[in-house]
Structure 1
Amino acid sequence: MNFHIKKSWSLAIILLLAGVMVLSGCSKKSGGEIVAGKVNVVTSFYPIYEFAKEIGGENANVINLLPTGVEPHDWTPRSQDILNTSKAQLFLYNGAGLEGWVPNFLKGLGSESKIKTVEVSQGISLIEAEDDDGHGHGAEAENGEETPNHHVDPHTWVSPKSAMIIAENIKNSYIEVDPAHKADYETRYKTLSGKLQALDAKFTEKLSAAPNKEIVVSHQAFGYLCRDYGLTQHPIMGLSPDAEPRAQDLVNLSKLVKDEGIQYIFFEELVSDKLAKTLASEAGVKTLVLNPVEGLTKEQEQGRDNYFTLMEKNLQNLILALQ
C-alpha cells in the first residue's frame, strides 16, 4: 500500500514540476513596451523585426512578438501581446498563411485601436505547395473545410529576392504612418536594400556555378530560395516542421539520396533534428544546417547573428552540399 502511495506522490510531484516548467516556458517575454514619441511597430516574427528595426532606426520602437528560440509555426499570442499591439501604430506580419492566429488577434485589438496592419509578403509571387501540412496553413474552401493538397508556401523571406519586396513594403508602411520622417526611412531602406541586392548577387553567382541542384531538407521552407536560384528541394516533412512524414516518404527519400549521390541532408536549429539524422544514417550521408531564418536561437542572439550572417552560412553550406 505504502508503495502505491509513494508512487502516486512521486507521480504528482513530477506532474507538478512539469506544470511549473510549462508555465515558465509559456511566460517567456516577447520584447518591449510602447514608447511615447516614436512610431511603435509590432512585428510577428524575427526577419520582419530585423528589417523593421533597420529601416525604422531612431524614429521607431520595434517590438517582436515571438520570443527567442521559438518556432513561429507553433506560437500563439497572449492577452498582453494583444494589449501592447492595440497601442502601437503599425503591425507587420508575413501573411501567406504563416501566422494562423492573425485574424483572431486583429479582432482582439478592439475598434478604438488606430493601428495600421500590413501583410509584408504582398507583391511576392506566391508558391502553391503540393502538400497537406496538417497544420491548417493555407487555403480553405468556401464551406470552411480545408482543400486537400492546396497550400500556399508562406516561407517568402528565405529568398533574398523576396526579402527585397518585404523590405520595400515595410519602408512604405513607415512613410504612410509617419510621413514627416520619409527621408530618414528612404535613406535607411536604401542601405538595407543594397545589402539584400549584394546577397542576391552572391547567391545567384555561387549557386548557378554549383554542379548539383538537388537538396534534401527537414521541412519544406526553401521553395522561394529554390525557385529564385535554380534548385530543387526534397522535404522530409511538409510546410509545417511538425507534420509527420509517412514511412514510404522516408524510403523514397533514402532511395533518392543514394540515386542522386546526395552527400548531405539539411536540418534546422529551431526544430528537432531527429528525422534528418535518422535519414542521414540510413542513407549513409552527413547532416548540415540550412536555416529558414524563422528566428534566432539564444546562442545566435548572443553571438550577434542576424538575417545576413545566417544567410551567408546557408550559402556556404549549400555550396558544400551541392559539390
Structure 2
Amino acid sequence: MRLRAFAIIALLVLSLLFNMGCSSQSQLQEGKVNVITSFFPLYDFAKRIGGEDVNVINLIPTGVEPHDWTPKSKDISEISKAQVFVYNGAGLEGWVGDLLGSITDNKRLVAVEASKGIPLIATNASQFTNETNPGASTGKAQGLPAQSVDPHTWISPLSAMQMADNIKNGLIKADPAHQKDYLANYEAFIGELQKLHDDFRNSLDAGTLKRHEIVVSHQAFAYLCRDYGLKQLPIMGLSPDSEPTAKDLQYISQFVKEHHVTTIFFEELVSDRLAKTLAWDLGIGTAVLNPIEGLTEQQAKAGENYISLMRENLASLLKALN
C-alpha cells in the first residue's frame, strides 16, 4: 500500500509540473463548481442535480469499463483542483483512498462517497454462493477469501435515490450559495427515480411473473435482485473478466433447465462471446441487461442516460421473465 501511495503521489507531482505548461487542456471551468465523477452513473446524477451551476467531468471515457481503470496523471491533477469529487465507494474504485490521501493542497475539495448509507451486500469471491449453489458448502472458491462487498449499488433505482441524496448534499456543502437550485433540481430528479422505482416494483415484485431467476454474464445485479424480488446466477464474478470453471458451467446448465430460463443476459462493454456460446449450447436466447457502468459510443450519441437505460433494462427483464 505504501508503494501504491508513493506512486500516486509521484504521479500527482509530475502531473502538476506537466500541467503548468499546458493548462489550456484542462476541462475545469472558471465561475462554476467543478465536479469530477469516477464513472457514468455518478456523472449523470451530478449533471441532473447540479444543473447550470456546475461543470461535471467524467473520468472514464466512453466505451471503457470501470473495474480495472485507474486514473492517469492528468486525472489526478484535475481532481486536485476541483471543488467536488464523486466516487461510488463500496470497493469499486480501489485507487480512491490513496489518491485522496495524496491531495493535501486542496482543503476545500468535497469528496462524496455516493454509496454511503446503502446497506451493502456481502458476496462470495466466487460467483457461485451458497445461496445459488448448494454444492458450495465452504463458501470459498479456488482458495480465494470467502467474502467481499458487491459494489454495484447504482443498478437498483432504490439505491440510486440514496446516491442522488448524497450527491445533492455534497454539492450544497461545496456551494451553499446555490442550495436552492440544487434542491429544486434534486426534487425533480428524485421524482423520476421514484417513478422508476415504482415501475420496477410493480412490474417485477407483484407475483405475476412466470419466473424470477435471471442468468447474467456479470455478477452486477445483486441490488436490483434484492430490491425487486429476483435471483441472479452469474456466469462470471464481480469482475466481468473472471472466468467460470467447467463445474460452474455444468451448474449453470442445470440451473437453466430446472428454472426454465429462456434468456442469458450479457452486457455491451465486455465480450459477449461466453454468454452467447453458452446460450447456443443450451438452445436459448440472449439479450442485453445493462449494468450501466458506462456508455457505448452509440448510446452517448443518442443521449442515453441512467433513467432511459434502466427502462430498457426493465423491458428486457419483463420479456425474459414472462
TM over 0.5: yes
For the Cα contact (< 8 Å) 2:43–2:57, is it kept in 1?
A: yes
1:321 aligns with 2:315: no
State the alpha-carbon separation in 1 of the partners of residues 228 and 290 from structure 2.
Answer: 16
Aligned equivalent of 1:115, options 100, 103, 109: 109
Residue 64 of structure 2: aligned partner: 70
Letter in 1 for 2:236: M
For the Cα contact (< 8 Å) 1:83–1:109, is it kept in 2?
A: no
Residue 25 of structure 1: aligned partner: none
CA deviations 1:251-301 (Å, max 9, x no partner) are 110111112110000000011101101110111101000000111000000
Letter in 2 for 1:179: P
Letter in 2 for 1:96: A
- TM-score norm. by structure 1 comes to 0.84
Letter in 2 for 1:176: K
Matches within 5 A, 1:9-158: 33-132=27-126, 148-158=145-155
Residue 185 of structure 1: aligned partner: 182
Deviation at residue 130 of structure 1 after TM alignment? 1.8
Secondary structure at 1:73's aligned position in 2?
coil
Deviation at residue 147 of structure 1 after TM alignment? 7.1
Deviation at residue 307 of structure 1 after TM alignment? 0.6
Secondary structure at 2:67's aligned position in 1?
helix
Q: Structure 1 stretches (4+) deviating beyond 6 angstroms?
A: none
State the alpha-carbon separation in 1 of the partners of residues 303 and 84 from structure 2.
Answer: 26
- TM-score norm. by structure 2 comes to 0.85
Percent of aligned positions with the same letter in both sequences?
Answer: 57
1:256 aligns with 2:252: no
State the alpha-carbon separation in 2 of the partners of residues 272 and 106 from structure 1.
Answer: 33
Letter in 1 for 2:272: D
Q: How much is the aligned-residue C-alpha RMSD, in angstroms?
A: 1.5
State the alpha-carbon separation in 2 of the partners of residues 220 and 236 from structure 1.
Answer: 8
Residue 288 of structure 1: aligned partner: 287
State the alpha-carbon separation in 2 of the partners of residues 202 and 122 from structure 1.
Answer: 25
Secondary structure at 1:74's aligned position in 2?
coil
Deviation at residue 112 of structure 1 after TM alignment? 4.1
For the Cα contact (< 8 Å) 1:132–1:148, is it kept in 2?
A: no
1:199 aligns with 2:193: no
Q: Which runs of 5+ in 2 are unaligned?
A: 1-24, 128-142
CA deviations 1:30-53 (Å, max 9, x no partner) are x96111111111100000000000
State the alpha-carbon separation in 1 of the partners of residues 97 and 62 from structure 2.
Answer: 23
CA deviations 1:207-266 (Å, max 9, x no partner) are 123221000000110000000000000000111101111111011101111121100000
Letter in 2 for 1:70: V
